[in-house]
Amino acid sequence: MQRPKYTKTILLSLLLLPLSTSARGQSPSPAPSPPPTARPAEPARARPADKPAVARPEARPTARPAPARAADPASKTQPAAPAKLAKTKPGKAQRKEAKLLKKVARFLSFFKPSTVWYLQYRYGGTREGHGNDASTYNRFFVGRGYVTLKFMPTQWFEARVTMDTHQDEAGDWKVRLKYLYTRFKLPIETKIVSEPFVEFGIAHMPWLDYEEHINYYRAQGVMISERNKLHNSADLGITIGTLLGKKLPKKVIKKMGDKYPGSWGSMALGVYNGTGYHDIEANNNKVLEGRVSLRPGGPFFPFVQLSYFFTYGKSARNLVIEDDPATLPDESASYRHPWWQNNIAMLSFSHKYAVLTAQYLFGKGTQRGSQSNWLWQPSEDPSRSPGTAKKYRGTSVFAEFRMPWIRSSLWGRYDWFDGPYEGGEQPYHRFFAAYAFHFWGRNANLVMLDFEYVKFDDRKEPDIAKRRQDRWALTLTVQVKLK
């Protein structure tokens, strides 16, 4: 077949047809440049006779372009985002400041502040007897206010200071040092000993810190040995101690609340001035104190402990009798420092639901030693040497029933003491009964209501004027312990 003429022209016209609007009378669309002039269309070729001519469909008119609209603000071309500033390295001064702040924060993390308060109200009195009428009293008071700061930069070193706030008999508030020591502890654990330590300064004495972590209710009052001025909890000197055997599992320690969790017990030994933390030494004698606590059941039944504590030395003060030299005969005298020997044996049971202790104490002399009723006077028994210490004996039983499901405890205590004490020499019986609600932490923050009754066993005292009236007291205590 012969190739039709003007093929290229026809194809170009068909391609440009939609753009041409002259045949339809439409307004031309704006364009950057007018289209080229189209050549006249080639007449349609005749089709063969055997094929009828098919009408060509009429070309659709070109859609009228929509009128220009106002530009949509959202569709406006957004300005190009500014290029990100390149990170600049901090200057030398900034690096030094950041390094210093990091060191300061790390240094401050070594300090561990804590506080313990005994906030109390008491209503009490004396019973009628021995020719005296009954009397009552009531008062608000602060039993103790301790503020402690510990510095613990490593596992093996610790420094501690504790301030003790109390109100004296004149009503003045006094602040004194209770503890001020440095402690070195080896962080080791063996089958024989674990975590041996040394305290140097105004340090813990071996006994009371141990007993008060079995009987946690120091807020009610001091233990029997401290109540009768035998000794207190801290003294100037050195304490060496260790746990016996490996440490008990953490779950067992948590059940008992034990501060000395050696699987076979613990021990402590110390040498001190012998004055406590609120007296001055008046001699050159040093006092030796020691405690040994053993768990007969070892790690298999660690709840029972047998403990023994001893003190051997001389009291801080001696008996001095002053007399007017103008009167004859002159009875002024100064005697030797008396011996001070304490012995305490205790059986204890500590568990999640119960605590039981029973102790027996005996000896002669006290820490201070200068109380007139603790030392034999020249006017007393002629068979006794003046200035020597009198003997004593006593016992104390404590029981606590713990109810952790309601954060509560019921506890009771009984003390009996036969020997001199502050205010008299008659034997006495002391009874305690209390309820404690531990509102935040076991043995930490609590509200306690306790009743105390003291009965003096002075029936054998021939002088009625020296007999003492029985005493009673009802005390409400809020203990706050923050750390």
Phi-psi region of 462 (alpha: psi -120 to 50; beta: other; left: phi over 0): alpha
Name the 3-class secondary structure at 427: coil
Give me the pLDDT at residue 77, please.
52
**Tens-digit pLDDT profile for residues 391-434:** 999 999 999 999 999 999 999 999 999 988 776 778 899 999 99
- What is the CB neighbour count within 10 angstroms for residue 263? 20
Question: Residue 390 half-sphere exposure, CB side, CA atoms within 13 Å?
Answer: 18
Give me the pLDDT at residue 167, please.
86
Per-residue pLDDT of the chain (483 residues; tens, 9 = 90+): 444 444 445 444 544 444 444 444 444 444 445 555 545 555 445 444 444 444 455 555 554 555 555 445 444 455 555 555 555 667 888 888 899 999 999 999 999 999 999 999 999 998 876 656 678 999 999 999 999 999 999 999 999 999 999 888 788 898 999 999 999 999 999 999 999 999 999 999 999 999 999 999 999 999 999 998 898 999 999 999 999 999 999 999 988 888 999 999 999 999 999 888 888 887 888 999 999 999 999 999 999 999 999 999 988 877 777 666 666 666 677 788 888 999 999 999 999 999 999 999 999 988 877 666 788 877 777 778 888 888 999 999 999 999 999 999 999 999 999 988 776 778 899 999 999 999 999 999 999 999 999 998 877 666 666 677 889 999 999 999 998
Mean pLDDT, the chain, integer: 83
Give me the pLDDT at residue 158, please.
96
Nearest partner of 282 among 337, 234, 238, 335, judged by Cα? 337
CA 302, CA 245: separation in Å to the nearest integer? 12
- Is residue 287 within 8 A of residue 272, CB to CB? The reply is yes
Give me the pLDDT at residue 184, please.
97
Token pair recorded at residue 445: 């923050």
Give me the pLDDT at residue 39, please.
54
Domain 112-322+334-482 -> CATH class = mainly beta
E strand or H helix at 225, and its extent? Answer: helix 224-227
Cα-to-chain-centroid distance, residue 132: 47
Give me the pLDDT at residue 211, please.
96
pTM of the model: 0.77
- What is the CB neighbour count within 10 angstroms for residue 54? 7
Burial class (CB in 10 A: 0-12, 13-18, 19+), 69: exposed
One-letter amino acid at 383 equals S
- Is residue 346 within 8 A of residue 361, CB to CB? The reply is no
CA 183, CA 151: separation in Å to the nearest integer? 10
Give me the pLDDT at residue 56, please.
54
| Domain coordinates in residue numbering, the chain | 112-322+334-482
